[in-house]
Structures are given as structure tokens and as C-alpha cells.
A and B are shown apart, each in its own frame.
Chain A
Amino acid sequence: MINLTIDNQKVAVEAGTTILEAARKVGVKIPTLCYLKDLNVIGACRICMVEVQGARTFIPSCVAPVAEGMVVRTNTPAVIAARKLVLELILSDHPMECLTCLRNQNCELQDLAKEFGITEVRFDGAKTEYPIDDSSPSIIRDPRKCVLCRRCMSVCTNVQTVQALCAENRGFDTLIAPAFNEKLANMECVNCGQCSLVCPTGAIVERDDTAKVWAALADPKKHVVVQTAPATRVQLGEAVGAEPGSIFTGQMVAGLRRLGFDKVFDTDFTADLTILEEGNELLQRVTTGGTLPMITSCSPGWIKFCEHFYPDLLAHLSTCKSPQQMFGALAKTYYAKKAGIDPADIYCVSIMPCTAKKYECRRPEMNSSGYQDVDVVLTSRELGRMFIQAGLDTTNLPEEEYDEPLGISTGAGEIFGASGGVMEAALRTVYEVVTGQTLENIDFEVCRGLTGVKEATVQVGDLSVKVAITNGLGNARKVLDKIRAGEADYHFIEVMCCPGGCIGGGGSPIPTNTEIRLKRIDATYTEDERMVLRKSHENPAVTALYEEFLEKPLGHKSHELLHTHYTPRGVNK
């Protein structure tokens, strides 16, 4: 242990601890901007400077390790004045459009300015002027608002291993952008939106599509239906002021009805359907010598990643569309017919924890109903804003139920939102379908949690099913490289693009960090346990769908509506 003094308090911490972390342990809060624990520890913004006795300069507490006998002062007038001037400098190169910024009142820079009591910026010199990049269907970059903290770069490079963003030019002209300031849409960017999740300001935000939805709701000719992704119900509360981990299912349904949606359906329903299609696809591949391991295809960020970086492995992807796109295809066919509505008049909205879904719904192959199957995707953050704009006291709304039939679901669909959930749901079904026996313990704990790569072997009848589960694309790479090297003997792999799975998706409420991800995961499994039905094949609405419309899993209509193909894209050279 290392002994030191921080603001006259004696502290003992493990060697290698930073001054910042040591200070937090004794309740001393040092302000930060670029720092993001475990993710971005580069000492760039210089807000967290402290005084260390004997040091020639102030010391950046986020990167400086503690040393024996160190005497640290975190709040001397000199330190506070220095921090304040550094902050004033950062603000002097900021557009100050707070009132018209999507991140208004949810901005770390704004918070700091308030904490420091900045009432004036004395520098009226040049400001960074780079055009806004709105080429991406998912993410808008406004370099003028960038504070060059590089969190986005770090998450894109180190966590997702996509490297769509880098530092270019230098000095005052430094820009964080795709290489050669290329448009994001022309890059290998997978639209995961993790950058928007870590951006402390409004420099990287989701594309706001709420106006389209307001317009549809206002259009009397439109029959507006909405689907809500599994993860939304355990995170939406945060967007309207509730505590992380709040379960918000009934309030969200009630709120959506009050906004004027004609039907409030659930992506959990098509999650159950996915299990039947994908489970059968797996069994077919196993029995007929198809390409193994088979990999899940629910996560559109992951799909684009595979198309760019592992185009040689596309045959491993399940041909199943994501639950969102299965829903869209069914809403404008099965549901339209059942409800007697012209599909041309149906406007299909998705609420997703995900920015990549905005891209997915625009893919040219996602028109199997004869129309764009899903018309628009809103992230949890956008729906939160709509609720607030509508003046809804969402937290106190009476809980309501989803509409039938596309709102009926099971716990298996529910857990799709957490990493390992698809796998667990599949195992619950595959086991019973293959063995004909009832699964006694349906909780596959081995699938759960934040571990980057999880592996398990599950006995299903005569077959030892070997599975792997990854979350975060950097972790996916590890398993994909094993497949490439011929060293992977898995049958089935679940890949989720975002750390923690969809509950940590790029469209989630901000902040989203490890602690909050864990709370949302807990809420997910609590929801699962509360459900009466917890296995996808027991979903009566899915059974009815097959009986009335699809006939059987992997049948002709399924192939037409529920399955897709992929495009090898490769990387920019």
C-alpha cells in the first residue's frame, strides 16, 4: 500500500492508483472532462490538475500515479484559478449554443461551467470552424462543439476496434474525425453510437428523427404503430428523470398511447419469433452440415462490422432479420391484413436503445412488405424528449399493457436486451424442442453478465452444444479471429455490438456506464422473472402467427419476410 496525504487527509491505496481515484476514495471530488474510467485516461483536458508538493508544475490527477509520502492539495486557490482558466479557454472555443443544443442540461461542459461559476469568457478570438457532418443516418458530428477529449476516438478504437475516428491536423485546428475528414457515412463506421454515449458535449449526437414521428402522429390518414425494443423498458425511465434500473414498461406503453400511437406493440414479440426461426436454422445447420458456428444477427452494428472487417465470415451469420425488421415486415403484411388496413397507410415506428437501427431500417433489402418495413427509428433518448415535450408526467402514469397480437411476449424475448439474452432464450427453446422434455432450471446464469467473451457447453439430448457470447466489437474480434484460424468449435455464437448488449446501446440515456449497465441488466432479469411465460415457443401469439400466416419456421413465407442476406463491404484502402 502507498501512503499519501490528500487535502490533509491520510490515505492508503494500492500502488498504481491514480491521485484522482485515491481522492475519490476519501470523498474528495476532483473535476474531470476528458477522463472516463478505464476507457480514456490520457490527461488531455487539464481540468483535473492538482498541486503536489515539490512538483514543478500542477499535476494531472487522472493519469498521475500516487507515490509514497506524496502531499496533494486539490483545492488551493491557485489550483482552482488554473482549472478555471483552462475551462475558460475551452469555452472560448465553444459555440455556446447551449439553448439550442440536444445536450442542453445533459452536458459535462455545461455542468463544469456551472460548478466553476464561469460568468464571463474574456477571450473573443477565433473559434474552430468545421462543417457539421450529417452524412450518417445515425450520428451527427458537430466539430465546433468538440472539446477534443478523445473519448469517442478511444471507445471507437479500443472498445469497438472500428477506428472510424482519429485526430487530424494539429494545434488549434485539431479535429477528431474520420481519416482525411471523410464523411462518416463513407467510413467503416458501424453506427453503433458508442461515441455519442461518451461525448461529454453535443459534438456527437444521434440523428433526431422526432419531427418525422410528430408529423406522422398528426397525419389522420396514417395508422401509426410503434414497437419497443426489449432494452428500452429498463432504460427509458432515466431519460425522464427516474433512477437507473427503473422498470418502465407499463409507463412507457401508457405514454406512447398518450402521444397518439394507434397501436403499441412490442419487439419482444418478434424476439420470440426470432428464437423460433433462428433456433430452427441452427438445428438445420447442425443436422445438414451447414456452416458452423452460426452467429446471431440481431445487432445491426455488428452486422455492418462483419460486412466490413470479416466479409469472409458472412456465411456464419444467421439469415434471420433482426427482431425490429421482422416486426416491420409483419406489421405491413400480417397485421395489415388482420386489421384490414392498407399497408400503405401504416407508419411503423421503432423505439430502440440503438443508433445503428436507424441505418438498418434504411437498408435496401428491408422492404419485403413492399414498403419500407420500418419507417423510422427513435432512440430511447428521443422518445424521452417526446414525452417531456408532450408534458407527460411519465413516471407517474398508470401502467398499461401492450396491444394484441404483436404485443404479446415472453421473458425470453425480454432478455434479448442484455448480453447473453439471445443465447439464453435460444437454449430455453432448443432444449425443449430437441429433447421434448421440460427444462427444469431455465436460468442460464453462465450466459449473463458483462464479461467480454463468455463460453459454455450445454447438453441438449445427445448433443453437447458449445456456445460463445460476446459483447463489444473488440471482444467479437477475438472470437472471429479464432473462427478464421479454424480454432473455434462452437455451434452458436451470440454477438452484441455494444458493451453489455442493447441495454448499453448507443441510443441509451446518457450517462451510460458500467454501473448503470449493471443496474439495467438486473432490471432485465427481474422483468423476465415477472413474466408468466418465459420461453419463446410458448408465446401463443407466435403460435397463432405460424398457424394463421407463416405456416412453419423456415417456411416459404418466413424466408420471404423474416430472412435476409448480407453485403461484403471490405475496408477503405
Chain B
Amino acid sequence: MKSLDELAKIKESRRAALKIREGVPSATEKAHVMMCGGAGCISSKCLEVVDAMKEALSKNGIAEQVQIILTGCMGPCDMGPVAIVYPDATFYRRLKPKDAEAIVEEHIMKGNLVQRLLYRAPGAKEPTPKVTDIDLFAKQKKIVLRNNFYIDPTSIEDYIANDGYAALGKALTQMQPAEIIEEVKKSGLRGRGGAGFSTGMKWGFTAAASGSPKYVVCNGDEGDPGAFMDRSVLEGDPHSVIEGMAICGRAIGAEQGYVYVRAEYPLAIERLDYAIQKARENGLLGKDILGTGFNFDIEIRIGAGAFVCGEETALLTSIEGKRGEPRPRPPFPANAGVWGKPTVLNNVETWANIPEIILKGAAAYAAIGTEKSKGTKVFALAGRINNTGIIEVPMGTTLREIVFEIGGGIPRKKAFKAVQTGGPSGGCIPADYLDTPVDYDSLGALGAIMGSGGMIVLDEDSCMVDIAKFFLDFVVDESCGKCSPCRIGTKRMYEILDNISKGKGKEGDIELLVELATTIKATALCGLGQTAPNPVLSTIRYFRKEYEEHIRDKKCACNVCELEE
């Protein structure tokens, strides 16, 4: 396509075809079945359900009147495979191939909902059939995951139908580069990779930096244990990332982008690759985009699975084909990024926010969230919680709302003990702070971090020494080995913790851990090392008694640690 008009035409025609997904019954189609095709549901065999459903449709001669669409991740992974049947937006869960016939013959053909497959809220007698009525979804606010219920991630037309590439069109035809940057600044968007730096300022620095060419890079090296927010975006809505990056290209004067994705995300890579190809075919990447003279293209770089490559300078070094290790900052990527050239590096989730900000304006975006943390945040809920999976909530939502309302609370009536945020760089927040609003600064003040959005819920059976040891073990394994505090210091911390957990701890160990932790934080080369001690420091801060019990009484109250003797 060569113009905004063509884009508008595609949107119009496709939108009409998708009315059914907005609840408007269609004259020609009986239903659209949106089957969650995230990696989680694929693992729980949703593709077999799809096959069974196709068979049932054929058997009943209505294959032409029903579309089955494999979407991105819908979020409630523990209920998978899940599906939504439109136009009535019925949510079905834990589907098996044998359920396909009932859905087709009862629901689609006769309009009778299949009761046994409907969602029931914990403790509720009656099911909640409509997806928008379910607490888990109703309390969420979707910007980043705006398309995950709605579109086929492999259809660029579906993306366009839901305002896709309209923001790019606006940025190219109605906005000057400086205005784009200003808009992003005003939105208050902060980096979703974890550090929370102002995205607009980052773009501004890069635009002002001397040196050319400039580059736009997407960090898709999501590596925190239990985190899969970025994977969900790349699998479910790859065009939103492409569009965000292209808008940045226009803003800073870059013509080349790279998306760095870890090799462990094959489906994300496949869908992104396909999306890039489709965007090129449709003139939305490449030369003279939308006839405006703007050139921008994207290449995928596949990471080999080192956690440290999620650190920005290590990621850039890895893109250059070198061993993925961090380099000192300054110079910052804005001045010397890929191949020493000015580079904007943002995380997948950050990129997915951009089209919405440009299209609907900074003010609308900034109206969501708290004073210093704007917009929404995607979290991956895991651990001892009923609704594990992906959620998106406005900044400022309290931990209590997330854990008990959206997350459905703790299974088996166990007591909540803590929530671990920010993965190996983060910390554990105890029950006393459940009413803390989730934003960058509040979490930081508690010794945790927002991080990229992993949330692991711990109940009364979780041993905090064991938790700290788990994360430290991860960091010891993933340290690149370049700087001595991280390479040796985290190893020593692990050894001390390991001794404590085995009942071989001694007086002074806690103090030595704190001394090591404080020094590693102050001296390590990159973010990995500087935050690696956080899980230990925060558990000592809030659960020091548990450490002392292990050391003095040689006992683990939760019966998790295997104490010797």
C-alpha cells in the first residue's frame, strides 16, 4: 500500500468482517471461535482441540459458517486451553478434544452454552459465561494486550482493523519527529524492562546524539524465571512492536531496527518473522512507507539464551556478534549503541504501548496510572496463586487487588506470605505491604523492583531462605563472569546461603551476607550484578527470623530445606 487512504480502506473492509467479535451477530457467519494459541495453551494441546472442532464443524456441514482463530495468549494459563466464542463472548476453559462436539452442536448450532466448560469464580455456585463479566478479566485494563482476544496474530488485516498502523500513519503525516518525542515524554511512559527510565527522554537523547546511522532496538530477551509478558506480546500482537519501532525510527531518524529475541521463544520468533514479512509486503516496512518517503526495516537477532543479554549493553554487544557481555556506561546506548552508533533500546512491552500513545494522545495515556508511573503494566502471575497467567492492570493497582481479586487468592486456603516481584533482581514483599500500589517507586522503596513484571506468590509453606537461594542460584549461573564482584561475590553469597539452608550456618553469616550484598550492589558492572543481591537483602529485611532459625535452631519451619544432621 502506498497511502493512508489505502490503509483506511483495508481497515474499513476488514472491520466489517470482524463485527461479530464485537458482539454483533452476522448474517453469514454463525461464530468466531478465538482459541488461545499462546505457548501455554499450545503446550496443553489446544491444537488438538482445534482439529476436533474443525472435524465437528465439517461433520455438521457448517465449516463455512464458523471461523476458528488461533490468538495470542489470553492470560489464564492454568485454565488452558481456553477459548472465547463470539458473538456472545462465551469463555470456555480446560478444553479437551472431546469437548469440541458439544461446543459445536450445542452452543454454536443450538445456542445452548456448555455449562460444564464455563468459568466458575472460586466459591461461586453459578458459572460466569461472558468473558467481560469474569473478575479476572473485568478488573484488567488492556493497552499492551489490547489485541490478544481480538485478532489473529498472523493477519495484518486483523491488526489494521483494530487501528493498527494508524499511529504510524499519523506519525508520518501529521507529526514532526520532535513532536513525536514530546508526545512520548508527556505520556509519562517509563521503560517496561524494569529500570523504568523515561522512554521519551531516551528517544530525545538519541535524536540529539551525533553520529549516523542510528538504530532502533527491541529487547525481547525476556529471561526472568516465571516471566512471559514479552513472549505473549510477540506471539499475540507482533505488529504492535513493529509499529512502535517504526514510529521511533521516524522520531529519531533511524532506518534500521533489530528485535533481539531469545532462541527459547520459537513461536514468538516465527510469528514476528511472519509479521515483518507481511508488513514489508504491505509497504509498512521497507522503502517509502505509506508513500511518505520514510524508510525503515527490521531484522530479528536470535539470542543464544544468556540471561545477561537482557542487560542493554550486553544485548547490543551480542547483536554485534560478540560474546554477550555488558560494557561500562557511559557511553550510554543513546550515544554509542549498536556498532557504536546512537541507539534507542526499549523492551517489547514498551514498544507495544507506543502506537496507543501516538494514536490516542499522551493525555489519555497519562490519565491512567499514578503520578510517576503512567499507563498499565503486564504481569506474569505465578507461584501459589489460583489464577496463574498473564494480566494487565493500571499502574497503582494494589498488590492485594492483583493477588486476591484478579489472581483469585491462594489455593488450598493457605495464608499469603509474600509476593516476589522483579525476578532475580527483585525482592519479596510481605503481607504487611499488600496495600502498596504497584508502581516503580513504591516497589523500589520496599527493596523490591517493578522489574519486567514477574510476580511469584508465596504462601505460608514457602521458606524464604530457600527462595533467596533459588534466585541466587539462578544469578550465579547467569553471571557473565566479567566483573569480579558478581562473578565471585554472588557465588560466595550462594555458598553461605547453601550452608545456612543445610543447617551449617554460623553466627555472623547474616552480617556477612549483608556486607557482600551491599558491596556487590555498589560495585558490580551491570544491572544484573547490581540487583543480584536484592532477593537476599529483602528476605533478610522482612524474614530475618527464618534465617536465624536455620542458623541457630538448625530448623526450617516450612520443612522445605533439607537440614543435615
Residues of A within 8 A of B (CB): 42-46, 49, 57-58, 60, 63-65, 81-82, 85-86, 89-90, 92-93, 122-123, 125-126, 147-148, 166-167, 169-174
What's the minimum C-beta distance from A127 to chain B, rounded to whole angstroms? 10
Residues in A neighbouring B364, C-beta threshold 8 A = none
B528 to chain A, nearest CB (A): 10
Task: Decide if B512 is an interface residue (CB 8 Å cutoff).
Answer: yes
- Tell whether, in the assembled complex, residue B481 and residue A174 are in contact, meaning their CB atoms are under 8 Å apart: yes
Please name 13 further chain A to chain B contacts, defined as beta carbons within 8 Å, in addition to the given A81-B519, A89-B489, A171-B476, sorted by A numbering: A44-B482, A46-B525, A49-B522, A57-B522, A60-B525, A63-B328, A82-B523, A86-B485, A167-B323, A167-B481, A170-B481, A171-B478, A171-B481
Which residues in B have their C-beta under 8 angstroms from that of A122? 512
- Cβ–Cβ contact A172 & B491, under 8 A: yes
A81: chain B residues at CB < 8 Å are 519
Query: What is the size category of the interface that chain B forms with chain A?
Result: 20 to 34
Which residue among B477, B482, B524, B525 has the maximum number of chain A CB atoms within 10 Å of its CB? B482
Q: Can you spell out 22 A-B residue pairs with CB atoms less than 8 angstroms apart?
A: A60-B328, A60-B525, A82-B519, A85-B516, A85-B519, A89-B484, A89-B485, A89-B492, A92-B492, A93-B488, A122-B512, A125-B491, A125-B495, A126-B491, A126-B495, A148-B482, A171-B479, A171-B481, A171-B490, A172-B476, A172-B481, A174-B481
Partner of B484, one of A58, A86, A126, A169: A86
- Bound complex: CA A148 to CA B308 (Å): 18
The residue in chain B whose Cβ has the minimal distance to the Cβ of A124 is: B495
Given A93-B488, A125-B492, A125-B495, are A173 and B519 also a contact pair (CB < 8 Å)? no
Contact of A90 among B488, B491, B512, B522 (CB under 8 A): B488
B308 nearest in chain A by CB position: A170
Q: Are A46 and B488 in contact (CB under 8 A)?
A: no
Are B481 and A42 neighbours in the complex by a CB distance under 8 Å? no
Q: How far is the CB of A438 from chain B (nearest CB, A)?
A: 55
Would you give the shortest CB distance from B477 to chain A, in whole angstroms?
Answer: 6
Q: What mask results when residues 469 to 502 of chain B are scored 1 for a CB within 8 Å of chain A, else 0? A: 0000000111111111101111110010000000
B123 at the A interface (CB under 8 A): no
Q: Which of A42, A123, A170 contacts B495 (CB 8 A)?
A: A123
Give bound CA distance, A307 to B2, whole Å. 57
State how many angstroms separate the Cβ of B513 from the closest Cβ of chain A: 12
A44, A57, A148, A172 — most chain B CB neighbours (10 Å): A172
Which residues of chain B have C-beta atoms less than 8 A from A42's C-beta?
327-328, 482
- Docked Cα-Cα span, A86 to B518, in Å, equals 12
B366 → chain A closest CB, angstroms: 26
Closest 6 CB pairs of A and B: A174-B481, A171-B479, A125-B495, A89-B488, A43-B328, A63-B328
Cβ contacts under 8 Å, B483 to chain A: 43-46
| A170 and B519 contacting across the interface, CB-CB below 8 Å | no
Expressed in whole angstroms, the minimum distance between the Cβ of B49 and any Cβ of chain A is 41
Q: Which residues of B contact A147 (CB under 8 A)?
A: 484
Docked Cα-Cα span, A92 to B495, in Å, equals 12
**B521 within 8 Å of A by Cβ?**
yes
B490-538: which have CB < 8 Å to A?
490-492, 495, 512, 515-516, 519, 521-525, 530
A171 to B516, CA, bound (A): 17
Secondary structure type dominating chain A contacts: loop
With an 8 A cutoff between CB atoms, is B306 at the interface? Answer: yes
Contacting pair A57 B523 (CB below 8 A) = yes
Which residues of chain A come closer than 8 Å to B330, judged between CB atoms? 64-65
User: Is the beta-carbon distance between B479 and A170 smaller than 8 angstroms?
Assistant: yes
Most chain A C-beta atoms within 10 Å of own C-beta, residue among B490, B516, B523: B523
**Chain B residues with a Cβ under 8 A of chain A:** 306, 308, 323, 325, 327-328, 330, 476-485, 487-492, 495, 512, 515-516, 519, 521-525, 530
CA distance A49 to B483 in the complex (A): 12
By DSSP majority rule, is chain B's interface helix, strand, loop, or mixed? Answer: helix
Chain B residue nearest to A171 (CB atoms) is: B479
Q: Which of A46, A49, A86, A172 lies in contact with B479, CB distance below 8 A?
A: A172
Q: Cβ of B484 and Cβ of A46 under 8 Å apart?
A: yes
Chain A nearest Cβ from B209, distance in angstroms: 15
A148 CB contacts on chain B under 8 angstroms: 481-482, 484, 487
Looking at the complex, which one of B323, B519, B525 makes contact with A44 (CB distance below 8 Å)?
B525
Chain B residues near A123 (CB-CB < 8 A): 492, 495
B481 touches A86 (CB 8 A): no
Provide the bound-state CA to CA distance between A46 and B516, in Å: 14
Assess whether A172 is in contact with B523, with CB atoms less than 8 Å apart. no
- Chain B residues lying within 8 Å of A45, measured Cβ to Cβ, are 483-484
Residue in B closest to A123 when the chains form the complex, CB atoms: B492
* Contact A46-B524, Cβ < 8 Å, known A64-B328, A92-B492, A123-B492: yes
Residues on B with C-beta less than 8 A from A85 are 515-516, 519
A89–B330 alpha-carbon span in the complex (Å): 26
Asked whether A46 and B306 contact (CB < 8 A) given A125-B492, A126-B491, the answer is no
Kindly list chain B residues whose C-beta atoms are within 8 Å of the C-beta of A174. Answer: 480-482, 487
- In angstroms, Cα B486 to Cα A86, docked, is 10
What residues on A are CB-neighbors of B524 within 8 Å? Answer: 46, 57
Q: How far is the CA of A324 from the CA of B483 in the complex (A)?
A: 43
CB pair B492–A86 under 8 Å, yes or no, is no
Closest to A176 in B: B481
Distance of B160 from chain A, by nearest CB (Å):
43
CA A210 – CA B217 in complex, angstroms? 57
Pick the residue among B476, B482, B488, B530 that contacts A92 (CB under 8 A). B488
Smallest CB–CB gap between B520 and chain A, Å? Answer: 9
User: Which of A46, A92, A123, A174 has the most B CB atoms < 10 Å from its CB?
Assistant: A46
Q: Note all chain A residues with C-beta closer than 8 A to B488.
A: 89-90, 92-93, 172
CA gap between A44 and B524 in the complex, in Å: 9
Chain B nearest Cβ from A479, distance in angstroms? 26
- Docked CA distance A155–B328 (Å): 20
Contacts of A49 in B (CB 8 A): 522-523
Q: In whole angstroms, how far apart are the Cα atoms of A435 and B477 in the complex?
A: 71
Interface pair A58/B495, CB less than 8 Å apart: no
Bound together, the chains give a CA A277 to CA B328 distance in angstroms of: 52
Smallest CB gap from A58: residue in B: B522
Residues on A with beta carbons closer than 8 Å to the beta carbon of B491: 125-126, 171-172
Q: CB < 8 Å: which of A57, A64, A171 contacts B480?
A: A171
Closest chain A CB from B6 CB (angstroms): 49
B519 A172 Cβ-Cβ under 8 A: no
Complex Cα distance A65/B335, Å? Answer: 14
Check B522–A82 contact: CB distance below 8 A: yes
* B331 to A, closest residue via Cβ: A65
Least CB distance from B108 to A in Å reads: 53
A58 and B328 alpha carbons, distance in the complex (Å): 13
B325 neighbours in A (Cβ, 8 Å): 167
What's the Cα separation between A440 and B79 when bound, in Å?
96
> Which of chain A's residues has its CB closest to B499's CB?
A125
Residues of B within 8 A of A170 (CB): 306, 308, 478-481
Distance from A474 Cβ to chain B, minimum over Cβ atoms (Å): 18
**Interface contact A171-B477, CB-CB below 8 Å:** yes
- Shortest A181–chain B CB gap in Å is 14
Tell me, rounded to whole Å, the shortest Cβ–Cβ distance linking B491 to chain A. Answer: 4
B316 → chain A closest CB, angstroms:
15
- Tell me, rounded to whole Å, the shortest Cβ–Cβ distance linking B377 to chain A: 23
Q: Give the CA-CA distance A90 to B512 in the complex, in Å.
A: 16
Give the CA-CA distance A92 to B488 in the complex, in Å: 8
Query: How many angstroms between the C-alpha atoms of A172 and B475 in the bound complex?
Result: 11
Residues in A whose Cβ lies below 8 Å from that of B306: 170
**Whose C-beta in chain B lies nearest to the C-beta of A65?**
B330
A100 to B97, CA, bound (A): 72
From the candidates B328, B487, B530, name the one contacting A172 in the complex (CB within 8 A). B487
A496 to B481, CA, bound (A): 35
Measured in the bound complex, the distance between the Cα atoms of B488 and A90 in whole Å is: 7
